[in-house]
Amino acid sequence: MPHPERLGKYPITAVLGEGAMGVVYKAFDPHIKRPVAIKTIRRQLIEDSELGQSAVARFCNEAQAAGRLLHPGIVTVYEYGEDQEQAYIAMEYVEGHSLAKYLARKVRFPEADILSIMSQLLLALDHAHEQGVWHRDIKPANLIITRQGRVKIADFGIARVDAVGLTQVNSVVGTPGYMSPEQYTGQPVDHRVDIWAAGVVLYQLLTGQLPFNGSAQSLMYKIVHEEPVWPSEHAGLAWARRYDAILAQALSKRPDGRYASALAFREALLSQTSEPVQPVVSEETVIMDLGRHEGRSAGTPSQGGSGAGAVTTAPPSGWDADTLSRLEASLARFVGPVAKVLVRRAARDCADIDTLAARLAGHLQTDQERAAFLQQTGSRPKAPGPASTGSGMTATLVMDTTRLDAAVVDQAQRILAAHIGPIAKIIARQAAAQAATRSAFFELVCARIDNEDERARVLAELRAIP
């Protein structure tokens, strides 16, 4: 079936995903001037198979459940509509990655990020529960970490709405491994199924694995009858002992043994730290996933520390760790803790200190900042010509200081679109807002491409722009 040019008042700008039941589009709200995501379902499914009717029920349920919620931690539903071919939901367009993607790439979050993720999740769940909505399918795939570090709950397709007259989806539903004992056994459920699932997410964040594993049949038995191996019993996680009791309550087999509310769960977590819990996930974590994956591994915090799996980004091959540390310290004065990620990533593509310093200077906002940074590192820009002799951080370098103009941004957007699709327009616009020179703009644009070979090809094409 051909894709429509518009749905309701929304012009379609891109296809985000497509399946047997429907399509998810990116569109534009012409009145409020904002991008939206539009989830569709084909109308003929209403009369077709039982599976199709179940999908329709979930679709309508999502519109009703999420549509009554308004919270920064929940993907907002704007509108439900129908035309001759399909029904659709217009919702908030969120840029980011699911928590499942982070976990699949073996990311081990620092403790500060674990607490931030859980705090944001539990605040959003508390709002949903206050409105009589139980999600019933909380899992990493339904938790989005935005590019601003905020956590948003998505997919209310099997939510239970505790109100007369609204669509109910009452069958035994959920995702194996995240379903509570009462969901498996068909017992009455309430908002505490979400408390259980949030406990499973916390367990994964701490250990990198599910509390219960096995075949469908053995998994059900374990969840209903057995206790998990608590985090502190895992190798290298003795520091996580303070979370064992919290998880034991969140994962209580009996609902009345769990935290009575999401807020109570959150308060128990916050009581384990003397530091303020950050309202967003660290920029270092967000950037790590937007560029190439920088490995993290679980580690034991330093004596008296509270870290959980600190970043273990080794110096790129051929680089001296002390040299990179000095660059990180200099850059951090301008960009904060994300400096470590920027330096280690850029060092992989640079053969000498001056090229690296010039590359890093491109991340700074003003000429004054760039000059100050280069002065601190001992590098100085120079017009093209033979490089001076010498070594260390006093060698000269060639740095492109050509100002960025709209024509270059447009050409870069077209080049980028051929590699990553319609999102190129957004990436180019964001990079242009941050960069003052062509070289800085090109570096920022290419930082959003995961594959190293493809990134090199795109960078070469961009540098060829006249």
Please state, in angstroms and rounded to a whole number, the distance separating the CA atoms of residues 103 and 30. 37
CA-wise closest residue to 118 among 195, 62, 178: 195
> Residues 393, 379: contact at Cβ < 8 Å?
yes
39 carries a ligand binding annotation = yes
- The SS3 call for residue 37 is strand
A 10 A CB-CB count for 232 gives 15
Per residue in 113-127, is it b (16+ CB within 10 Å) or e — as a string?
A: bbbbbbbbbbbbbbb
Dihedral (Cα; 132, 151, 449, 316), 10-degree rounding? -150
**Burial bucket for residue 368 (CB in 10 Å: 0-12, 13-18, 19+):** exposed
CA distance 18 to 26: 12
Cα distance between residue 353 and residue 349, in whole Å: 11
With CA atoms as reference, report the closest residue to 13 among 425, 432, 445, 433: 425
Rounded Cα distance between 103 and 207, Å, is 10
Query: Strands 381-382, 397-398: parallel, antiparallel or unpaired by DSSP?
Result: parallel
Please work out, in degrees rounded to the nearest 5, the angle formed at the alpha carbon of residue 353 by the alpha carbons of 350 and 356.
Answer: 45
Task: For residue 26, give every residue at least 6 positions away whose Cβ sits within 8 Å of its Cβ, in sequence order, or none.
Answer: 12, 13, 14, 15, 16, 35, 36, 37, 38, 93, 422
Write down the catalytic residue from 113, 137, 289, 354. Answer: 137
- The three-point CA angle 379-380-384 to 5° equals 120
Tokens coding 263: 């807020």
Reduced to 3 states (helix: H, G, I; strand: E, B; else coil), residue 96 is strand
Q: Are strands 10-18 and 397-398 parallel, antiparallel or unpaired?
A: unpaired
Report how far apart, in Å, the C-alpha atoms of 145 and of each of 94, 121, 140, 184, 327 are.
9, 11, 10, 29, 29
Q: Is 405 among the residues known to form the active site?
A: no
Residue 397 CA to residue 352 CA, distance in Å, equals 10
Count of other CB atoms within 10 angstroms of residue 162: 14
Just list the catalytic residues: 137
User: What residues form the annotated binding site for ATP?
Assistant: 39
User: What residues form the annotated binding site?
Assistant: 39
